[in-house]
Amino acid sequence: MIDRLDYLTELGVNAIYFTPVFEATTNHKYDTSDYFRVDPHFGTNETLKTLVRECHARGIRVLLDAVFNHSGRQFAPFVDVIEKGEESLYKDWFHVRKWPLRIEDGVPTYETFAFEPIMPKLNTSNPEVRDYLLKVASYWMDEIGIDGWRLDVANEVDHQFWREFRQTVKKANPDAYILGEIMHDAMPWLQGDQFDAVMNYPFTNTVIDFSLRGKSTAPASQRRSARCSPVTRPR
């Protein structure tokens, strides 16, 4: 990426959103093992810091992906719970339905993301979990200099956590951008106390249905407006 930033600048790119870069066991990296370390497949924390600095020199802002709804199976607190069970200091960091942690008839005895055993759901109502994740948010902004966050499956995390998250992020950088992934109507998250914007999937699906699949049509008034609207060409 660092070697190709000039090419991106030529294309007019002014922001880069990275899918997860933290250490994880999968290719997609949505099963975080270490929230404070860049996955060795991508480089190091210092490499990312250099990338952010070079991006800023070209007027490019950088967003990282915050996977705070769930961790990975190799996340140290979850490993501790697997090993020590109810005696673990981290037992309340997760949503355990039944001890011990195991898979019964293909279903984990603990809550996960999308029924995936390697992605245990974090208990963000636990003050210790909230404090930990907020420190993660602060670290990458203060130490690495990123410009904002894209929040994975944000609708599955409680609103109060996101309110505290916003306060933390805006304290680190008032101009930071907070983008939530919401699969449906997002108004509860856009009241000024949580996100700046969302990934607008309903609009995306509507455009695809109209332009590619022919499943929907524009109202007649809009079609007339589109035909009559002048087209401004770049000079």
Catalytic residue among 152, 158, 196, 209, which?
A: 152
Task: Check if 54 is active-site.
Answer: no
The size of the chain, in residues, is 235
Residue 29's alpha-carbon distances to 80, 135, 206, in angstroms, are 21, 20, 29
Catalytic residue among 39, 181, 185, 209, which?
A: 181
How many angstroms separate the CA atoms of 14 and 60, rounded?
A: 4
Indicate the SS3 state at residue 185: coil
Task: Check if 152 is active-site.
Answer: yes
How many angstroms separate the CA atoms of 88 and 211, rounded?
A: 53
Residues 6+ apart with CB under 8 A from 223: none
How many angstroms separate the CA atoms of 113 and 71, rounded?
A: 9
How many angstroms separate the CA atoms of 134 and 151, rounded?
A: 13
CB 29 within 8 A of CB 21: yes
Active site residues: 152, 181
